[in-house]
């Protein structure tokens, strides 16, 4: 692959004439091109089998859709990357779109990883939810559409197969069965209530179930139940009967599962008025493992379904393994190319189908109906949100409805474990991927100094913005700040913002009203008299929801920090002492304080603690220079 940046075109010129100037230096290689505006911002990223032919299509003065014509008019320069194959160009194109987020490309905005079920590598395996890189040893099953879908599957597996869900550390430290054993959700392997061989059989059955072989499991359980009954082991037979009953209930609840489609992602698109919804249903092991809706940014009502769906698939599978089949609602522009790219990524064949009849067509039709209904709800919510933002602008005298509102709050207990929190809202509602938490680091702060904490939070937030986005072109600067507090808090925040040279951002303090009663809030702005909104004003309810969400996020962050500190001990800071050795030391001495006072000979006597590590621990707690 070679990188060939060409920016010799006059910067003041834009449009098809500028684009035509590149044609004499381009050849027929496959590759990726970028179109940039006069400020060097990327407008569009595209791929081409033949770069010269593709760019020449943009050099024509007429014959373009309104969207493409606008893009061409704004183009001041171009960049090119040549690749060896068109497949390589397709993968590079989608990677650059996700990285650069060009204005005229279809962009998948929600690209979180999906959870899996992990059966760990252990003599008595644990079954648990896993999200992220598959680094831990064991067998993975998924993906599931959501944490809720995984949790439901785990509950079913525990009810039928009685596998443990406790951590290895807890497993090793148990001396008697836990509540899971009492309510018949675990066989208590931790205290020897089941042999390793019998537990391994349960694990194999669970993995067969996750692989879609539930009928085989049911037949085996029925045979075991009959054998136990014949041997007059009635208690064991009753337990097996209960497991068969639980498995039957699970199968009944999953009646929507496909009969002939073992592994596929069902992907359906609905477009309406320049907005799009893509529904993805995950079919694995012949079971429906949930669905998710996505709302890619399309930017124009003129865009074709084939272009949207191809861009979505390319970005969606950039960091995910594709299944054996993709069942699509619309054909793609380059189906063979996409199938080849996905097959190369998976290391096996991946088929792209647009089914017209049969069960697969029914699955796609169901997904398309969900996409249409989800987009309808989303558009209704967006219209409501637009009215609220317009009302907010009118109430606070803003020039236009805000596109980004940042709400700040602090949480602490008498200054301890202090955290700052920022939530973000905009035209699409709460933007949870933009939330930020701030561990208050100021050593010179007086405990409980809310003004000092707010100053630290805002200073850190806006210093970073000034550094990373000085010209405010990336959309990360707020149009409105909401502060939890009254006139004093607003005055302090204004002083902070003035110091940093960002005094042009409107801010409003939300103060509890008379008797701290919700509905009687007073609003404070710099240099203006406080005022209130009428009790039943929808804008008031909207602000209350934002304030409550900021408070919830701050409290949650504070509790997490406090919980972490409660479980912390001085042993956490000793080099070479991990979780296993920490447990051994605490079991031997009874407390971290006793470890800190222990003699060197006593530390050497602890199982698993070498002489050299014992010396390190002793020196850590008894170093005269500390």
Q: What is the second-level CATH architecture of the domain 405-565?
A: 2-Layer Sandwich (3.30)
Q: What is the pLDDT of residue 316?
A: 92
Which residues, 6 or more positions from 131, have their beta carbon under 8 angstroms from its beta carbon?
113, 114, 115, 116
User: What is the CATH code of the structural domain delimited by 2-100?
Assistant: 3.40.1440.10
DSSP 370-408: HHHHHHHHHHHHHHHHHHHHHHHHHHHT-SS--S-EEEE
Q: Per residue in 84-101, pLDDT tens?
A: 999 999 999 998 998 898
- 264-376 matches 570-622 in fold: no
Report yes or no: 315 and 297 within 8 Å, Cβ to Cβ: no
pLDDT (0 to 100) of residue 625: 39
pLDDT tens readout for residues 572-610:
678 778 777 887 887 788 777 888 888 888 888 888 888
Sheet holding 127-130, edge to edge: 127-130, 116-120, 138-141
Tell me the CATH architecture of domain 264-376: 2-Layer Sandwich (3.30)
Low-confidence ranges of the chain (pLDDT < 50): 8-11, 252-255, 624-626
List the chain domain ranges: 2-100, 116-253, 264-376, 405-565, 570-622
Phi, psi angles (nearest 5°) of residue 106: -70, 130
Other Cβ atoms closer than 10 A to 11 = 13
Q: What is the pTM of this model?
A: 0.73
* Residue 150: both structure tokens together: 């995984």
- Would you state the structure tokens that stand for residue 609, as one six-digit string? 């603690």
Give the pLDDT confidence score for residue 362 in this predicted structure. Answer: 93
> What is residue 317's three-state secondary structure?
coil
Q: What is the pLDDT of residue 450?
A: 73
DSSP string computed for 115-144: -EEEEESSSS--EEEE-S---SSEEEE---
Q: How far apart are CA 453 and CA 437, in angstroms?
A: 12
* Domain range 570-622, CATH architecture: Orthogonal Bundle (1.10)
Return the pLDDT at 255. Answer: 43
């Amino acid at each position: 692959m070679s990188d060939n940046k060409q920016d010799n075109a006059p910067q003041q010129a834009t449009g098809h004439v500028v684009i035509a100037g590149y044609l004499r230096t381009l050849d027929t290689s496959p590759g990726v091109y970028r179109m940039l505006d006069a400020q060097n911002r990327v407008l569009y990223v595209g791929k081409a089998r033949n770069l010269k032919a593709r760019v020449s299509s943009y050099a024509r003065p007429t014959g373009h859709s309104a969207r493409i014509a606008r893009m061409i008019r704004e183009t001041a320069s171009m960049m090119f990357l040549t690749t060896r194959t068109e497949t390589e160009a397709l993968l590079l194109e989608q990677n650059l779109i996700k990285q650069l987020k060009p204005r005229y490309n279809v962009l998948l905005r929600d690209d979180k990883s999906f959870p899996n079920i992990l059966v760990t590598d252990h003599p008595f395996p644990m079954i648990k939810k896993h999200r992220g890189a598959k680094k831990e040893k064991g067998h993975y099953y998924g993906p599931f559409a959501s944490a809720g879908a995984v949790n439901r599957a785990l509950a079913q597996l525990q009810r039928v197969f009685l596998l443990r869900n406790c951590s290895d550390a807890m497993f090793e430290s148990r001396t008697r069965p836990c509540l899971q054993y009492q309510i018949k959700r675990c066989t208590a392997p931790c205290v020897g209530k089941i042999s390793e061989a019998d537990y391994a059989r349960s694990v194999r059955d669970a993995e067969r179930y996750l692989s879609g072989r539930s009928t085989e499991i049911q037949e085996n359980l029925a045979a075991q139940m009959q054998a136990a009954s014949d041997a007059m082991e009635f208690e064991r037979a009753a337990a097996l009967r209960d497991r068969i009953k639980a498995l039957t209930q699970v199968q009944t609840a999953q009646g929507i599962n496909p009969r002939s489609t073992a592994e596929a992602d069902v992907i359906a698109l609905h477009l309406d008025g320049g907005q799009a919804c893509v529904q993805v249903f995950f079919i694995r092991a012949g079971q429906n493992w949930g669905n998710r809706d996505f709302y890619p940014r399309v930017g124009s009502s003129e865009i074709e379904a084939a272009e949207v769906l191809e861009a979505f698939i390319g970005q969606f599978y950039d960091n995910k393994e594709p299944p054996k089949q993709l069942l699509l609602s619309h054909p793609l522009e380059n189906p063979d190319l996409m199938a080849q790219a996905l097959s190369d990524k998976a290391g096996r064949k991946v088929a792209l189908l647009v089914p017209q009849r049969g069960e697969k067509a029914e699955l796609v039709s169901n997904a398309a109906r969900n996409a249409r209904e989800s987009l309808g709800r989303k558009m209704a919510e967006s219209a409501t949100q637009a009215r609220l933002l317009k009302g907010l602008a009118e109430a606070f005298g803003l020039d236009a409805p805000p596109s980004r509102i940042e709400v700040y709050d602090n949480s602490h207990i008498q200054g301890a474990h202090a955290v700052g929190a920022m939530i973000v809202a905009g035209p699409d509602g709460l933007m949870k991927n933009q939330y930020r938490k701030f561990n208050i680091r100021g050593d010179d702060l007086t405990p409980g100094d809310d003004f000092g904490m707010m100053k630290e939070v805002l200073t850190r937030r806006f210093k970073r913005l000034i550094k990373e986005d000085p010209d405010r072109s990336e959309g990360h600067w707020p149009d409105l700040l909401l502060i939890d507090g009254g006139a004093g808090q607003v005055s302090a925040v204004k002083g902070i913002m003035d110091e940093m040279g960002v005094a042009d951002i409107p801010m409003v303090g939300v103060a509890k009203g008379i008797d701290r009663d919700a509905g009687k809030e007073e609003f404070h702005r710099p240099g203006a008299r406080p005022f209130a909104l009428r009790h039943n004003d929808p804008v008031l309810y909207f602000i209350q929801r934002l304030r409550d969400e900021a408070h919830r996020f701050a409290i949650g962050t504070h509790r997490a920090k406090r919980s972490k500190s409660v479980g912390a001990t001085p042993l956490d800071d000793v080099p070479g002492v991990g979780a296993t050795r920490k447990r051994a030391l605490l079991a031997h001495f009874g407390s971290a304080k006793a470890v800190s006072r222990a003699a060197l000979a006593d530390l050497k006597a602890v199982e698993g603690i070498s002489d050299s590590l014992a010396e390190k621990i002793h020196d850590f707690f008894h170093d005269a220079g500390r």
